[in-house]
């Protein structure tokens, strides 16, 4: 069997086009653009790349981007004061603080300071709790992007066995909550899971969010399963001094067994930014008291 390729890049491009149309309608209604503030503390190279691409995507969607780059030695008090100012700013609909933060800053306190109604990353405990109890709120971008791809592939996910490998607050746990919400039978695996291969073998849907290059092997996969690879790992390339990106799934092996699979790059990655724009737009419409119907995007 050769797996269908799940083209996250094309799906994300279509989603971003729909968002741009709705963002233009928002601007016409509200008399201003939907606004997304991004806060970056320090000079982490990967974070700088992410923030640049988020800023570019925000502008392309016809939204206003407010970028705040702070030095690595910024105090917790100064960062919290900036977030408080963004919470109060009527031009800002969504706030994203790029993680990880420098070690002297307390991530939990920083996230807890963001107004939950502007928490477009969905990391605030209020939004995590809303997801857990099935209330509407902001859902973290990467797992929501994965769910959109799965719904597009499968339609209904009801009754399927889903295994999520990874239990981070950013990907694994919200992914499992979303799949439970779709009526899957969900297993969350992690570094202490025994016989991971056997656990994964029972899955109709596998989501790998581990951060271990090509951990998931072909022999672990039930024939025909849908495999979503969240991992982004940089490994040595073919030529000396070169590197390449691989996922958490052994793509070449698994695509011979799975029914469908996301590539890395070009699978989940592009969905993350598209869903961020989606969340920012949802926040903007809510902010003006004219919520978007859920089927709009
Ligand atoms: P974390 O490091 O926060 O979590 C990794 C999880 O994997 C942990 O729960 C850990 O278990 C588990 N784990 C580690 N090793 C193993 C193992 N050998 N077997 C089973 N489970 C294991 O990572 P994130 O959730 O933040 O990210 C996961 C991956 O997804 C990374 O590669 C990251 O770069 C990528 N990512 C991609 C995004 C995108 O847009 N495509 C966005 C966000 C992340 P334990 O809890 O026991 O330690």
Give the residues across from 97 on adjacent strands.
Answer: 39
Q: Give 245 Cα–ligand 1 centroid separation in angstroms.
A: 15
What average pLDDT does the segment 179-207 reach? Answer: 98
* Domain presence at residue 247: yes
Provide the CATH number for the domain around residue 94: 3.40.50.10860
Give the residues across from 38 on adjacent strands.
Answer: 67, 96
What the block records as the tokens of 30 is 């509200």
* Domain presence at residue 150: yes
* Domain presence at residue 286: no
Residue that the structure tokens 């990655």 belong to: 269
pLDDT of residue 78 exceeding 90, the answer is yes
pLDDT in tens, 207-238: 999 999 999 999 999 999 999 999 999 999 99
Q: Give 133 Cα–ligand 1 centroid separation in angstroms.
A: 24
DSSP 5: E
Q: Give 67 Cα–ligand 1 centroid separation in angstroms.
A: 27
User: Whose C-alpha lies nearest to ligand 1, atom 17?
Assistant: 191
Provide the pLDDT for residue 1.
Answer: 64
What torsion, rounded to 10 degrees, do the Cα atoms 50, 56, 59, 61 define?
A: -80
* Domain presence at residue 221: yes
Do residues 153 and 131 lie in contact, with contact meaning Cβ atoms separated by under 8 Å?
no
Distance CA 51, CA 44 (A): 11
Residues 98 and 169 in one domain: no
pLDDT of residue 295 exceeding 90, the answer is no
Binding-site residues, ligand 1, Cβ < 6 A:
142, 165-168, 170-172, 189-193, 196, 209-212, 215, 230-233, 268-269, 272
Provide the pLDDT for residue 294.
Answer: 72
What average pLDDT does the segment 3-19 reach? Answer: 97
Distance CA 243, CA 190 (A): 27
Which of the listed residues 121, 140, 172 should we mutate to test ligand 1's pocket, taking the one with most ligand atoms within 8 A of CB? 172
pLDDT of residue 296 exceeding 90, the answer is no
Domain count, the chain: 2
Provide the CATH number for the domain around residue 170: 3.40.50.720
Residues 101 and 190 in one domain: no
Q: How confident is the model at residue 23 (pLDDT cuts 50, 70, 90)?
A: very high
pLDDT in tens, 159-169: 999 999 999 99
Residues 198 and 237 in one domain: yes
pLDDT in tens, 255-273: 999 999 999 999 999 999 9
Provide the pLDDT for residue 292.
Answer: 85
What the block records as the tokens of 288 is 């003006």
* Domain presence at residue 168: yes
* Domain presence at residue 84: yes
Provide the pLDDT for residue 293.
Answer: 76
* Domain presence at residue 284: no
* Domain presence at residue 295: no
Residues 206 and 245 in one domain: yes
Q: Which domain holds residue 105?
A: 31-116
What average pLDDT does the segment 39-45 reach? Answer: 96
């Amino acid at each position: 069997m050769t797996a269908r390729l799940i083209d996250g890049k094309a799906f994300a491009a279509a989603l971003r086009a729909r968002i741009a149309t709705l963002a233009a309608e928002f601007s016409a209604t509200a008399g201003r653009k939907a606004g997304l503030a991004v806060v970056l503390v320090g000079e982490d190279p990967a974070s700088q790349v992410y923030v640049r691409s988020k800023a570019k995507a925000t502008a392309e969607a016809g939204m206003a981007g407010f970028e705040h780059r702070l030095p690595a030695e910024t105090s917790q008090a100064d960062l919290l004061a900036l977030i408080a100012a963004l919470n109060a700013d009527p031009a800002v609909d969504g706030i994203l603080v790029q993680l990880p933060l420098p070690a002297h800053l307390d991530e939990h306190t920083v996230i807890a300071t963001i107004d939950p109604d502007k928490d477009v990353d969905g990391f605030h405990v209020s939004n995590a709790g809303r997801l857990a109890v099935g209330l509407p709120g902001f859902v973290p971008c990467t797992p929501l992007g994965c769910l959109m791809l799965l719904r597009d592939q499968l339609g209904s996910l009801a009754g399927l066995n889903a295994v999520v490998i990874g239990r981070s607050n950013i990907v694994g746990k919200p992914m499992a909550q979303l799949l439970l919400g779709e009526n899957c039978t969900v297993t969350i695996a992690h570094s202490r899971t025994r016989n991971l291969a056997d656990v994964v073998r029972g899955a109709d849907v596998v989501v790998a969010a581990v951060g271990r290059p090509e951990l998931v092997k072909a022999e672990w996969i039930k024939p025909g399963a849908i495999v979503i690879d969240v991992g982004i790992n940089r490994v040595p390339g073919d030529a000396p001094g070169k590197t390449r990106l691989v996922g958490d799934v052994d793509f070449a092996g698994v695509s011979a067994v799975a029914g469908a699979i996301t590539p890395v790059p070009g699978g989940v990655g592009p969905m993350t930014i598209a869903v961020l724009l989606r969340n920012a737009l949802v926040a903007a419409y809510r902010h003006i008291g004219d919520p978007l119907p859920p089927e709009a995007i």
